Amino acid sequence: MESHFDSHVEQHNEDEFQKSFKEMISTLPKGNSWGLPDHLYQYQDFWFTSPFLQGVLLAQQQFEAQPTDIILSSAPRTGTAWLKSLTFATITRTSYDDSTTPLLFRMPHDVVPFMELDHAHFSANRHLGIPLLATHAPYSFLPTSIIDSGCKIIYICRDPKDTFVSMYHICTRYAKSQNTQPIELDEAFELFCEGVSWYGPYWDHVLGYWKASLEHPDKFMFLKYEEMNEDTVLYLKKLAEFMGCPFSTEEQQKGVPEKIIKMCSFENLSNLEVNKSGIHREGQGNLEIQNKIYFRKGKVGDWKNYLTPKMATQLDQITQQKLSSSGLSLN
């Protein structure tokens, strides 16, 4: 049992960490905030806001992965909430069905803890047999315990054009909800292309996980939003197998995978009261955000409605150049 002394020492270490983090961050290159209250800071070639960088570094020091953990990794706006809901519903399917699942009253980001901000509370979920932990950390930033424990990692990525459009929209919606001046599309586009975006450069984020997945295929599942969208049943079955809880023949005959997919569909989740009117991280300052802002269209190829042909070509060229000789394609 934790003694008063242990928690005192822990607090002391945490205070020391906060102090040195504040000193360190003041020395980092500062990037545009995309119209949001927090600036981006560049640390070891990636861009983060202060609370997320602090969270990643703290997790590196404190998080102790177990071999049975399953890490859901992604760059922002690539399908994280969808992946969380599908994996959560699959892993908990013997405890809940589509009329009792916590997804009915908690948004996907609230059912799977986020390593950067919630890793200290993750053990409670582990004990309940829900070993899912999400992160946006680039591969090179993962705590060494994740790599050393050999736990499984599921990564999802998306066409950079749709990722950018989705990121631009969440920023403008959030800025409007905070009564701050939203960023213009052209400016956001230039920043994204330069790599100055949350956990960006986006391409480097994807490549880090792609290369690791080639080196350790047994420990990695590498997904694309577009492929998941094209054949969700196939990918959900693969996910279940990878997580060690494949659908039985009887479950497949009863249409359990299809029910999970329907439950986790954009149409269903975005119309639930919790996702229309709830608040994520309520009372946590700049981290507080309306749940509905996370749900926009959930479509493949919506970039066509926002990017000029010239912008699309520019992004495609960057993608081609960055991914050349990697064996990966993103559009």
Catalytic residues: 136
What is the footprint of ligand A3P within residues 181-210 (CB under 6 A)? none
Place of tokens 């242990």: 6
Q: Of 1-9, 43-51, 60-68, 292-300, which part binds ligand A3P (CB under 6 A)?
A: 292-300
Nearer to ligand A3P, 118 or 162 (CB): 162
Counting contacts by CB under 6 A, is residue 166 touching ligand A3P? yes
Residue 210 pairs in a beta bridge with none
Counting contacts by CB under 6 A, is residue 302 touching ligand A3P? yes
Do residues 265 and 102 touch, judged by C-beta distance below 8 A? Answer: no
Counting contacts by CB under 6 A, is residue 291 touching ligand A3P? no
Q: Of 35-43, 53-61, 199-207, 297-305, which part binds ligand A3P (CB under 6 A)?
A: 297-305
Q: Give Cβ neighbours of residue 257 (< 8 Å, ≥ 6 apart).
A: 233, 236, 237, 240, 247, 251
Task: Report how many residues bind ligand A3P under the rule CB under 6 A.
Answer: 22
What DSSP letter does each residue of 119-137 carry, written as one string? Answer: GGGHHHHHHTT--EEEE--
What is the footprint of ligand A3P within residues 235-264 (CB under 6 A)? 264
Report the largest interatomic distance among the alpha carbons of the chain, rounded to a whole angstrom: 62
Do residues 289 and 278 touch, judged by C-beta distance below 8 A? Answer: no
Counting contacts by CB under 6 A, is residue 169 touching ligand A3P? yes
Counting contacts by CB under 6 A, is residue 298 touching ligand A3P? yes
Nearer to ligand A3P, 76 or 150 (CB): 76
Residue 198 is given by DSSP the state T
Residue span 60-89 as binding mask against ligand A3P, x where in contact by CB under 6 A, dash where not: --------------x-xxxxxxx--x----
State in angstroms the smallest separation of the CB of 269 from ligand A3P. Answer: 5
Do residues 295 and 270 touch, judged by C-beta distance below 8 A? Answer: yes
User: Binding residue for ligand A3P (CB under 6 A) from 17, 96, 266, 306?
Assistant: 266
Distance from C-alpha of 111 to C-alpha of 99, rounded to nearest angstrom: 16
